[in-house]
Amino acid sequence: MSAQDAIPDNAMPDQPDQPERPRQPAPSSPSDNVATLRAALDARTQEVEALRAEIEETNRGVLALYSELDIQAEQLRQATELKSRFLAYMSHEFRTPIVAIQSITRLLIDRVDGPLTPEQEKQVGFVRDTAAEFAEMVGDLLDLARLEAGRVDVSPAWFDMVALFDALRGMFKPVLTNPDVSLIFEAPHDVPKLFSDDRKLSQILRNYISNALKFTPSGEVRVSAICDTPDTVTFSVRDTGIGIPPGSHGEVFQDFVQIDSPLQRRYRGSGLGLALSKRLAELLGGHVGFESEVGVGSRFYVTLPTTYAVATAAGDAGRQAEPATTSGDDHAG
């Protein structure tokens, strides 16, 4: 019998080897799942507790900082109050001898007790001028003390620009001793009457004009008023003086600041005039500003509302907005 006949009919040829299937992991039991979740929950709880502790520590630090700031604010308030009291007290104490000195020098210059030699007249004039500068410093200190203590009241009333400029012109006429400088008051065309405190506005403009005259060796100082909007008026004092360096612009309206210049060394002052002007303008509901270029001159201005905030209907009824009728520039000489 042949080999082929020896193979059974139901016999199958050899099959190639099949790859083994990966074994599936055994399903986890419910107890294992609970343990895993509990571990994750414990870890998250620890994170939350750590974060809560950090937040509480931060809050304690913030509260401590606020407490320290409150203490420092109270100390600053007390120091400011003490400074204001000191300035007010010293200003009042200084005024008595200053008035006495000014009265004596006035009597000497008027030659009530007899004639003076040229040298004596020169020395008495020096004493008089020094006393006037000292009186101005004391006045600035007293005004500063009142402003910081909140003891400055606003007394608003209707007033006309022409009357204000006339008063300023007469005030500065005696002090215009430099023939090379002209003080010009421009006629305030189309500027209505203001309901504000004319004394405080006058003080602001006096400070501006005084500074302009001091630092203008030659040329002119020009005072003007224009109506920017129906609700605001801007007063400007422009000069052809030495100007202010750009690096000093940020210090101009600060307390006790004087810009260093050759002319500044010739004039003594408290360095409070412009700072007081700024605070007075804010008290009247306005603001101040300036423009300056070295060698060209400066322009200082104050913008005020035409009607102070406490104006009533009764005051509005009595308002008479009459523009100035004069024309041309007026020179105070």
Residues 224 and 202 in one domain: yes
Give domain status of residue 84, yes or no. yes
Highest mean pLDDT: which range of 103-117, 229-243, 259-273, 312-326: 229-243
Reduced to 3 states (helix: H, G, I; strand: E, B; else coil), residue 227 is strand
Q: Please, which residues have CB within 8 angstroms of residue 155's CB and are 6 or more apart in sequence?
A: 197, 199
The residue among 148, 169, 195 that closes a domain is: 148
More confident residue, 148 or 16: 148
Mean residue pLDDT of the chain comes to: 80
Range of the domain at 242: 157-332
Residues 175 and 317 in one domain: yes
Q: Are 213 and 183 in contact (CB under 8 A)?
A: yes
pLDDT in tens, 40-87: 888 888 889 889 988 988 998 898 888 888 898 888 888 877 777 777
User: In terms of pTM, does the model score above 0.85?
Assistant: no
Rounded CA-CA distance 248/260 in Å is: 9
Give domain status of residue 280, yes or no. yes
For the chain, helix, strand, coil in percent to 5 are: 50, 15, 35
Rounded CA-CA distance 158/57 in Å is: 60
Rounded CA-CA distance 316/308 in Å is: 11
Written as one letter, the residue type at 172 is F
- pLDDT range class, residue 19, cuts 50, 70, 90: low
- Tell me the CATH number at 124: 1.10.287
Residues 214 and 276 in one domain: yes
Q: In what order do the strands lie in the sheet with 181-186?
A: 287-293, 297-305, 232-239, 219-229, 181-186, 329-332
Q: Count the domains in the chain.
A: 2
Residues 212 and 306 in one domain: yes
Give domain status of residue 236, yes or no. yes
Give domain status of residue 193, yes or no. yes
Residues 172 and 136 in one domain: no
Rounded CA-CA distance 208/223 in Å is: 9
The residue among 104, 126, 148 that closes a domain is: 148
- pLDDT range class, residue 131, cuts 50, 70, 90: confident
End-to-end CA distance of the chain: 156
